[in-house]
Amino acid sequence: MNLKSIEIGKLHTKNNVFLAPLAGYTNAVFRELCYNLGAGLTFTEMVSAKGLCYGSEKTEELLHVSEGYAGIKACQIFGSDPEIMRRACESEALKDFELIDINMGCPMPKIYNNGEGSALLNDLPLAEKIISACKKSGKAVSVKFRIGLDESRIVSAEFAKMCEGAGADMICVHGRTRDKIYSGAVNVKEIAAAKNAVKIPVIANGGVFGSSDAEKLIEKTGADGVAVARGAMYNPWIFAKITGEPLPDKRQFVLTQLEKTRKLYGERFACVFMRKMCAFYLKNQKGCAQLRVKLFACPICEELKELINTLSFE
């Protein structure tokens, strides 16, 4: 894959292989470790604009940035009120974030039925107002969206043009429709259509679980880079493999993630979160079902650490 820096407004990324926002997973520690593995840009979990405007403690917890994180600070927000979105961008909570990514692709009913996320694919005038309002904050703005709501309502090229016209500095296109959620083939033609419709950087998203997937996605879409989502949950080392960075000792990586997560988020969160992450990392290994049972039986981080030291992360 041809590695290159992506220019997002006045910002310049380390390379064009990004960690996509993942609700419940891209916390501060995971972002730091993926960046160190080679990811050129990472995003926070999806954050509510209303929560930011009204000082939600739970919302602001999602905005932790590790001391060791050296990349561009990027936050993904969601909402449907342009004024609330602008206020969120200008909030004290986001003062240290250089890039705001607007979620216009989340397919989950809770978000969609509230007129947010992928629901905005059905209301281009409102989506345009939201992007324009966020740009008034003076920050760089990107937009992540899907190619349409279903096969009868494909809007990729039209939506891409709208984003550019409203002032977006970059777009990230997930090559599936909203009704597919995360299943089915990625529609590379529609990502290519979005790429051909604009001059701003276009990042392709969907189906990247290995180096060859990233290369094929770039080749077939002409996109400027790729964003890795679920592939990073199962295999964060994917960033080193794609970018040519040295592969770390995987067990030591997991132990480091455990310790950093415990230090930042506390014992209970770290234990629950890392049991889940280890289960992802061990997926498809021989005996993984039995290993999952052992993982989820660990009540504290020390016991989990002892178990990790006996595991082989292939």
Catalytically active residues, by annotation: 106
Q: Extract the runs of DSSP E, i.e. beta strands, from 59-208.
A: 74-78, 99-104, 140-148, 170-177, 202-205
Phi, psi (deg, nearest 5) at residue 65: -125, 125
Q: Extract the runs of DSSP E, i.e. beta strands, from 180-261.
A: 202-205, 225-228
Q: Given the structure tokens 């889940």, which residue do they identify?
A: 276
Report how far residue 60's alpha carbon sits from residue 54's, in angstroms, rounded to the nearest whole number.
10
Q: Give the H/E segment covering residue 7.
A: strand 7-8
Report how far residue 110's alpha carbon sits from residue 173's, in angstroms, rounded to the nearest whole number.
21
What is the DSSP secondary structure assignment for residue 95, as one 8-state letter?
A: T
What is the DSSP secondary structure assignment for residue 139, as one 8-state letter?
A: S
Report how far residue 213's alpha carbon sits from residue 215's, in angstroms, rounded to the nearest whole number.
5
170 within 8 A of 131, measured Cβ to Cβ: no
164 within 8 A of 199, measured Cβ to Cβ: yes
Report how far residue 224's alpha carbon sits from residue 29's, in angstroms, rounded to the nearest whole number.
27
Q: How far is CA 194 from CA 8, 36, 108, 163, 178, in A?
A: 17, 30, 23, 10, 16
Nearest to 242 by CA among 278, 215, 281, 202: 215
Residues counted in the chain = 314
Phi, psi (deg, nearest 5) at residue 310: -100, -5
